[in-house]
Amino acid sequence: MKKLIAGNWKMNGSLTANEALLLALGQGLERVPAGSLHCDVAVCVPAPYLAQVQALKASQPALSGIELGAQDVSAHDAGAYTGEVSAAMLKDLGCRYVIVGHSERRQYHFETDALVAEKAGAVLASGMTPIVCIGETLIEREAGHTEEVIKRQLAAVISANGHRISEIVLAYEPVWAIGTGRSASPPQAQAVHAVLRAGLEAVTDLFARVKILYGGSMNAANAASLLAQPDIDGGLIGGASLKAHDFLTIIAAAQV
Ligand code: PGA
């Protein structure tokens, strides 16, 4: 299946820095001969910059291959929810993907499995693709609870969105690997991805089509070996997505 390389800029960037980064990405992608980009590429940018990136995409043909994504969404449709951004608004701004349930949202904003599942439903209902993040903490891994935790997180998404589960993208992001420079090893990541694939197989015939991304210190040096694993269908990349050269190297690693 076609891999997906999605950058998660987190709370980084400025009008000037975003433009420079995107133009550098565009220049890199222009060097890939037409029609031979064999992976999907997305950037999930801070909400205030969605319109900027949408406009840049419209004016720069080299950026047409980069899809736009958001980093979070409200579970509500509209109304008195000060500060929140609805799925319809993200769709309006040209988003194709929305990250939901990132561990930083779960940890700092107390998002529960049920809320994350509801947000995934709101994204699907607006015609976009949720990138649903799941993953264990270091304490959970060391206690031998990795499988139990990721199965619980996946079950919540399935119970709320089972009828459309084949339309989501999953991202396995071990919390201990995020922003730490300590990536899961390819076999460690593959083992969890295989559990997730089996969990999907139990509920949908289309299980093989669901993209399961790995995220957590994926970088230019380790991307190829992670992406070579049979159940790793792409990457959700934080720090390395802010450097055009590194992000382009990861995209190149996903081409094979
Ligand atoms: P990282 O972040 O690549 O900086 O570890 C990944 C993520 O949080 O999505």
Ligand 1 pocket, mutate which of 71, 178, 247 (most atoms under 8 A from CB)? 178
Average pLDDT by stretches of 10, the chain with 256 residues? 97 98 95 80 98 97 95 98 98 98 97 98 98 98 98 97 96 97 96 98 95 98 97 98 97 88
**Ligand 1 atom nearest 217 alpha carbon:** 5
Residue 122 pLDDT: 98
Establish if 30 belongs to a structural domain: no
Establish if 24 belongs to a structural domain: no
CA-based angle 65:210:245, to the nearest 5? 35
**Ligand 1 atom nearest 8 alpha carbon:** 9
* Structural domains in the chain (count): 1
Among candidate residues 136, 140, 173, 193, the one labeled active-site is 173
Does the pTM exceed 0.85?
yes
Say whether 163 is catalytic.
no
Establish if 156 belongs to a structural domain: yes
Residue 34 pLDDT: 67
Residue 256 pLDDT: 65
Ligand 1 binding pocket includes 101 (Cβ within 6 Å): no
User: Residue 43 in contact with residue 247, Cβ under 8 Å?
Assistant: no
Residue range(s) defining the domain that contains residue 50? 3-10+40-253
Residue 37 pLDDT: 81
Establish if 34 belongs to a structural domain: no
Q: Annotate 94-155 with DSSP letters as a single string.
A: TEEEEEES-HHHHHHS---HHHHHHHHHHHHHTT-EEEEEE---HHHHHTT-HHHHHHHHHH
Establish if 28 belongs to a structural domain: no
Q: Annotate 6-70 with DSSP letters as a single string.
A: EEE--S---HHHHHHHHHHHHHHHHTSPTT---EEEEEE--GGGHHHHHHHHHH-GGGTTEEEEE
Establish if 68 belongs to a structural domain: yes
In three-state secondary structure terms, 235 is strand
Handedness of CA 98, 99, 101, 107 (dihedral sign): negative
Say whether 102 is catalytic.
yes
Establish if 69 belongs to a structural domain: yes
Query: Which residue's CA is the closest to the ligand 1 atom numbered 9?
Result: 238
Q: What is the CATH number of the domain that holds 94?
A: 3.20.20.70
Ligand 1 geometric centre to CA of 8 (Å): 7
Establish if 15 belongs to a structural domain: no
Q: How far is CA 168 from CA 119, 143, 161, 222, 237, in A?
A: 12, 29, 9, 25, 18
